[in-house]
Amino acid sequence: MRAVVQRVSRARVTVEGRVTGEIGAGLMILLGVGREDSAAVAASLAEKAANLRIFEDDQGKMNRSLLEVKGAALVVSQFTLYASTKKGHRPSWSAAARPEIAQPVFDALVAALTAELGKPVPTGEFGAHMRIALVNDGPVTIWLDSRTRE
C-alpha cells in the first residue's frame, strides 16, 4: 500500500461537479492499493497516518499528531501511485490491485481511520474521475509505503 499524506489547511474532492468529501485542517491522503495488500495492512497504515507527528506544537516544532490536533482526514483512491516507468514513456500499473480487490482494502483503511479518529472520514468516489483542490500547509508531504515501513 502506498500513500501520499499531505498536511492541509483545507481540501475538497469533487466528482462531476458535486462535492464528495471536504475537510478543514488535517490530512489529505492519496491511497494506492497493491496486489498483495489486505485489510490488516490498511489498518496499520491508518494507525501510522493518524499518529504521524507532523503538526506543530506550541514551540512551532512538528511534534503533534492528527489525533492530538483533532484534525480531519480526506482519503482518495489513486491507483497511479503504483506506476512503473522502468520501460519506455507509458507507465504500467500492473502492480496496482484490480478494483474488485482494491476497493474493499480502501474501505478497510477508511473504516480503520474512522475508528482511530472517532469521526467520519470523507472520501472521493472509488474509480471515478475526480478533481481535488487543497491547500498544502507547510508544505508538508510524506510518502508512506507498507512494503518499506519507512
Q: Would you name the residues annotated as active-site residues?
A: 78-80
Question: Cell numbers at residue 65, please?
Answer: 499528531
DSSP state of 47: H
User: Which residues, in sequence order, are bridge partners of residue 6?
Assistant: 28, 141
Question: Cell numbers at residue 103, please?
Answer: 476497493
Q: Terminus-to-terminus CA distance in the chain, angstroms?
A: 12
The helix (run of H) or strand (run of E) holding residue 73 is: strand 72-77
The helix (run of H) or strand (run of E) holding residue 132 is: strand 131-145
Three-state SS for 7?
A: strand
